[in-house]
Amino acid sequence: MKRDLMTLPLDLGSELIIDNFAGGGGTSTGLERAFGRPVDIAINHDPEALAMHALNHPHTKHLCESVWEVDPIAVTNNRPVGLVWLSPDCKHFSKAKGATPVSKNIRGLAWVGMRWIALTKPRVLMLENVEEFQDWGPLIIDADGNARPDPRRKGKTFESFVRQLRQHGYKVDWRELRACDNGAPTLRKRLFLVARRDGLPLAFPKPTHAEPTSAQVLAGILAPHRTAAECIDFSIDAPSIFDRQKGLVRNTLRRVAKGMWRHVLASPTPFIVPSAGGVSTPFVNEHANASNQRTMRADEPLRTICAQVKGGHFSVVAPTMVKLRGTSEAHLGTDSVEQPLSTVSAGGNHHALASAHLITIGYGERAGQRPRTQEITAPLGTVVAGGVKQAIVAAHITKFRTGSAGASLDDPMPTVTANSFVKRPGGSAPLGIVSAHLMHVTHHGDRAGSTPAHPLPTVTGAHRGEQALAAAFFEQANGGFWEDNEGRPAGAPLSTIASKGANQRLVTAYLVKYYSSGGQWQDIGAPMHTLPTKARMGLVQAVKVPAAYLSDEHAEKARKCAALLREHLPEEFTEDADMVMLYHAGAWWVLVDITLRMLKARELYRAQAFPDSYIIHEIPDPALLFKDGVQVPGDPRDIPRIPLSITAQIRMCGNSVSPVQSEALALVNFAHEQQFAHAAA
């Protein structure tokens, strides 16, 4: 018996909550927080995704079959339904897919919601998808026999979908919401549609977070965006971009160089964070989403993480600077990076500056397009499901698809998508870190590093240089080379994580401080380039110097760093030089290395606002967990487990809804239940 329009229970506890297209469990995690109890039924055709869901949500009933094969009346036993959530496959709507052909069947998955509406009459229906879902329209067949959206009827099917909801007695509205505005360290923007038939008003959550420089944040009304830097484990070693068996492709190197310039060398406030052996200023480079390539500060939110980006969506880039010794060997004392470094003794060079950012490594780049990098204190970009597209370049985040110059780590992380393949650096999501940090460069064993505001660790007389200063940003590498985008700072949200894989890499640049025992500075020669900047970053110079001023190891990589910047930034570095120098905190520093690594799956899940307790590395064996598409009786946590591949982990992350968004939507649309419950008590 299907329910009619007049069937409207006021059951404050027993109404069912249904999670269609449940995936790895982001929606259910948020709904459970909001309702204070488990989701009742989760449905997905992917046995790996549903097994992850079952392990983390053991009190939910799981149906591993096509959403079209599920009988809503049978699975609910005709009980009243309070909420039906839909997150149909987005990749055949998403701009991250590019111009490839689309599938009518996949684009039509949202129609399953009408089946639940007709048969169970839920009080509320919520649908999540990419913002391009509003353009849902009929398809046409091109000359090659491929199906493509008909541009003349753009949005017509979406209008029909909304019209039918209203014909069933539902009020309908929709909004585009960003996860970083509700507390996730990712910029992930999605369309949310809410339909309800109980006469109560439709509601959408108000922002709780905003740009750190916004008036509301400065007034204390809203919290600042959480950043990609919160998600990144800076203790993980990142390889030098110059020491790889298989060299990086030209587009990735170009993104690293662009992100280095924007987020480290020319930044008035490079993001500096603690890391293994020191402090980092990373940025992010993005490697996916061809329409939106960039680098990012590490202190911004990460961008959307995509689920299908091959090779990873983001990487971290990290440049390293160390002190340049003069005619006498010198090593450094301990200082705040905001103050001149301590007196250098005759023992040798012991300081280095490293900077990190994220880059994306999942896509190629168009001619004339600028690379994406991202700073490490920004929210992570969108995570895609196909693989890790974020990598750490000791000091910025970079994407590995389309053009991306990285991003600062103090921004939100880019969107994480879900696709992946392991042929790119790190073999996972297309987000990576490029990072530069203040670190020990001698002694064996782990080094915890120190914050920029604290003194450097004790300097010994080993004559090898023991501290290095790292700056970080993100490089994004999943698209064409976009001239106006040099990544993101490490202090920004990460960009969107897509299901293809992480597009951000962390890039770190290491810088060694120049110490002169008197007079040699004039002998070095005229600077090739000078850049006046503000505040903490002073002058950048590329110079020719005798090799004796640096250790052999530092001198070799210093020349490689200078050559890299000369090749990809000819407008800034107009002549050949042996090194690139930066005037910082009253001293000159030499760029001596750049490291880059992909973001790990756990870092991407953090960007999506999953708790660290969420189990992602293993799942109950689906062959034992499901029988004929139905979960076997008993606790799924007791089923023998099997490892889950990195590719699958990233796919689940990129396909997931950020828990903070499903939680916020449920709270504002079911607030009356809480009021009634308090009144009854």
Q: What is the pLDDT of residue 544?
A: 62
The type of residue at 140 is I
Q: What is the pLDDT of residue 321?
A: 60
The type of residue at 591 is L
Q: What is the pLDDT of residue 447?
A: 38
- Alpha-carbon torsion 115, 118, 123, 125, what sign? positive
Q: What is the pLDDT of residue 397?
A: 53
Q: What is the pLDDT of residue 75?
A: 94
Please provide the distance, in angstroms rounded to a whole number, between the alpha carbons at the two ends of the chain: 34
Please check whether residue 356 is in contact with residue 470, taking contact to mean a CB–CB distance below 8 angstroms: yes
C-alpha to C-alpha distance for 273 and 409, rounded to whole angstroms: 9
Return the active site residues.
90
C-alpha to C-alpha distance for 165 and 435, rounded to whole angstroms: 50
Q: What is the pLDDT of residue 573?
A: 86
Please check whether residue 531 is in contact with residue 572, taking contact to mean a CB–CB distance below 8 angstroms: yes
C-alpha to C-alpha distance for 597 and 600, rounded to whole angstroms: 9
Residue 28: φ, ψ to 5°: -65, -35
Q: What is the pLDDT of residue 285?
A: 76
Which of 366, 396, 552, 586 is closest to 476 using CA atoms?
396
Structure tokens at 389: 């597209």
The type of residue at 192 is F
| H runs (alpha helix) in 386-531 | none
Please check whether residue 441 is in contact with residue 465, taking contact to mean a CB–CB distance below 8 angstroms: yes
Q: What is the pLDDT of residue 395?
A: 44
Please check whether residue 565 is in contact with residue 580, taking contact to mean a CB–CB distance below 8 angstroms: yes
Domains in the chain, CATH or no CATH each = 16-218 (3.40.50.150), 273-594 (no CATH)
C-alpha to C-alpha distance for 295 and 82, rounded to whole angstroms: 42
Structure tokens at 300: 């911004």
Structure tokens at 66: 């096509």
Q: Looking at the DSSP assignment, which residues form a beta bridge with residue 243?
A: none
Q: What is the pLDDT of residue 19?
A: 96
Q: What is the pLDDT of residue 369?
A: 54
Q: How many CB atoms are located within 10 Å of the residue 635 CB?
A: 10
- Alpha-carbon torsion 671, 672, 674, 678, what sign? positive
Please check whether residue 473 is in contact with residue 370, taking contact to mean a CB–CB distance below 8 angstroms: no
Give pLDDT < 70 ranges for the chain: 1-13, 90-108, 271-282, 287-294, 307-312, 319-411, 413-472, 474-488, 490, 497-505, 508-549, 584-585, 587, 674-681
Specify the pairing of strand 283-284 against strand 302-307. Answer: unpaired
Looking up tokens 């009253």, which residue turns up? Answer: 586
Tell me, what DSSP letter sits at residue 648?
A: H
The type of residue at 549 is Y
